[in-house]
């Protein structure tokens, strides 16, 4: 079920999950529900280069992410 | 998704092994890969004293954590490069890990501060000697890690280089046919002559993603942001290219680097031959005594140039 809250009379804003990306830092709002692999695909990110963390737990590519989730997409590539 | 081994909920899928694992089974997998690397290349024994080169990043702190968990006698050295807030934050991460994890194993942290010795941070130093920052940083780190390992009598110096680092470096060396570098791209370099510490890379069988996953699972608080000096580096470009290949064909990085090591083991010179070649080519630096192929080593040359300007 999708929860909506009224923003102003007659206008409904659909809530979305908060997604934080690290280096470079970016904050996004993405509508759920969506699976982890779909989220990465939508953002054009290579799964091998990122971890997806919900709260402080790692999640696998088939996990369904919901609007109430706070998600971190962490780049794992380092080194110069 | 369920763990292939025990059916508990999986936390990571590893397409290159066609397997998904839960926290406990993944931890065991990582430990086994490190044990296998140490054994295969005779890196060190349980009695040896190891100096881990730590930066505050995921690889080096995870390496230190794993070696301690596996029962090795591992201390660490942090080189403070003086790169503004980045160095401050990375040093805090290292200190925090030392206090909260390493202290319980009676493990020690050594710190070398570039600014204290050189009178300038790494960026200013690079400008003074007209060299790229990353190259200057490499020279300083290699020199200081080797110096501390020798002076404090460690049996081996361990770095957090992983499969992605090694595959990317191999790709770069092959693209430019730098065959001299290929010869020395091995997870274990012997202490070929006096003044050189043995150098080992126990994480070479693990990808960056696996190491980062281990750090998250075990609450290792590392500096997530990249060194600001690394922006635009070729190594990062090679890593991105390899990850795109890996996405289409899982196992590409593993096969590329580990097959190279297999071929190298069959064809290449033995440890004794590397030592013999180094003995013919290298001699003590006239200033500091560390091995070098020139009269004065590159570190001392750099130091002299910097001193003339500071």
Q: Check B13 against A46: CB less than 8 A apart.
A: no
Helix (H) or strand (E) holding B106: none
Rg (CA), chain B: 20
- For chain A, domain boundaries: 17-75
Give the integer Cα–Cα distance in Å for A18 and A28: 6
Starting at the edge strand that comes first in sequence, how are the strands of the sheet with B199-200 ordered?
A: B109-113, B73-80, B49-54, B156-158, B199-200, B188-189
Where b means 16+ CB within 10 Å and e means fewer, B192-213 reads: bbebbbbbbbbbbbbbbbbbbb
Picking from B302, B272, B288, B303, the residue whose alpha carbon sits closest to that of residue B146 is: B288
pLDDT range class, residue A2, cuts 50, 70, 90: very low
**pTM metric for this prediction:** 0.90
DSSP bridge pairs for B105: none
Q: Are B58 and B220 in contact (CB under 8 A)?
A: yes
The model's pLDDT over B212-255, given as tens digits with 9 standing for 90+, comes to: 999 999 999 999 988 888 777 889 999 999 999 999 999 999 99
Rg (CA), chain A: 14
Q: What is the pLDDT of residue A3?
A: 40
The model's pLDDT over A9-30, given as tens digits with 9 standing for 90+, comes to: 555 566 789 999 987 789 999 9
Can you tell me whether residue A75 is helix, strand or coil? Answer: strand
Joined together, the tokens standing for residue B278 give 């180094």
Q: How many CA atoms lie within 13 A of B86 on its CB side?
A: 17
Determine the distance from the C-alpha atom of residue B47 to the mean position of all C-alpha atoms in its chain, rounded to a whole number.
Answer: 22
The model's pLDDT over B110-167, given as tens digits with 9 standing for 90+, comes to: 999 988 887 778 888 888 888 888 888 888 899 999 999 999 999 999 999 999 999 9
DSSP bridge pairs for A50: A75
Residues 139-158 of B with CB under 8 A from A: none
What does CATH list as the number for A17-75?
Answer: 3.10.20.30
Q: Does A61 touch chain B (CB under 8 A)?
A: yes
Joined together, the tokens standing for residue B202 give 């126990």
Residues 23-42 of A with CB under 8 A from B: 23
DSSP string computed for A16-47: -EEEEETTTTEEEEE-S-EEHHHHHHHTT--G
Q: Give me the helices (H) in chain B, please.
A: 23-40, 58-69, 84-100, 114-118, 122-128, 133-151, 163-175, 179-183, 208-217, 234-248, 252-267, 271-281, 298-309
Say if the ipTM goes beyond 0.90. no
Q: Does B213 touch chain A (CB under 8 A)?
A: yes
Give the integer Cα–Cα distance in Å for A60 and A50: 11
Q: What is the pLDDT of residue B269?
A: 60
Q: Check B230 against A79: CB less than 8 A apart.
A: yes
Q: Does A78 touch chain B (CB under 8 A)?
A: yes
Q: Check B209 against A62: CB less than 8 A apart.
A: no
Q: What is the pLDDT of residue A6?
A: 46
């Amino acid at each position: 079920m999708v929860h909506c809250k009224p923003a102003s009379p007659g206008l409904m804003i659909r809530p979305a999950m908060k997604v934080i990306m690290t280096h470079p830092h970016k904050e996004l709002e993405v509508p759920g529900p969506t699976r982890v692999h779909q989220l990465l695909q939508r953002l054009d990110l290579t799964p091998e280069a990122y971890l997806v963390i919900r709260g402080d737990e790692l999640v696998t590519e088939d996990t369904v992410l919901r609007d109430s989730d706070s998600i971190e997409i962490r780049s794992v590539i380092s080194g110069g | 998704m369920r763990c292939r081994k025990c059916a508990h909920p999986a936390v990571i899928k590893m397409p290159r092994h066609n397997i998904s694992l839960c926290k406990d089974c993944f931890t065991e997998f990582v430990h086994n890969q490190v044990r296998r690397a140490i054994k295969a290349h005779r890196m060190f024994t349980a009695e040896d004293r190891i100096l881990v080169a730590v930066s505050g990043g995921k690889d080096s702190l995870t390496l230190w954590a794993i070696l301690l968990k596996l029962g090795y006698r591992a201390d660490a050295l942090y080189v403070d490069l003086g790169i503004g807030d980045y160095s401050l934050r990375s040093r805090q991460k290292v200190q925090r890990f030392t206090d909260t994890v390493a202290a319980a194993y009676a493990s020690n942290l050594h710190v070398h501060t570039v600014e204290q010795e050189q009178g300038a941070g790494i960026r200013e130093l690079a400008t003074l000697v007209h060299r790229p920052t990353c190259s200057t940083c490499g020279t300083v780190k290699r020199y200081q890690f080797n110096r501390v390992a020798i002076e404090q009598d460690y049996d081996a110096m361990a770095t957090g280089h992983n499969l992605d680092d090694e595959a990317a470096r191999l790709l770069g060396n092959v693209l430019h046919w730098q065959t001299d570098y290929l010869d020395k791209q091995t997870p274990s370099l012997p202490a070929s002559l006096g003044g050189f510490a043995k150098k080992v890379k126990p994480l070479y069988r693990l990808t960056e993603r696996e190491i980062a996953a281990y750090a998250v699972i075990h609450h290792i608080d590392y500096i997530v942001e990249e060194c600001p000096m690394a922006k635009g580096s070729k190594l990062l470009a090679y890593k991105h290219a390899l990850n795109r290949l890996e996405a289409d064909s899982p196992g590409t990085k593993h096969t590329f680097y580990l097959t190279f090591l297999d071929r190298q083991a069959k064809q290449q010179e033995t440890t004794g031959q590397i030592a013999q070649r180094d003995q013919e080519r290298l001699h003590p630096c006239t200033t500091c005594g560390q091995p070098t192929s020139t009269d004065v080593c590159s570190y001392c040359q750099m130091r002299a140039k910097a001193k003339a300007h500071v």
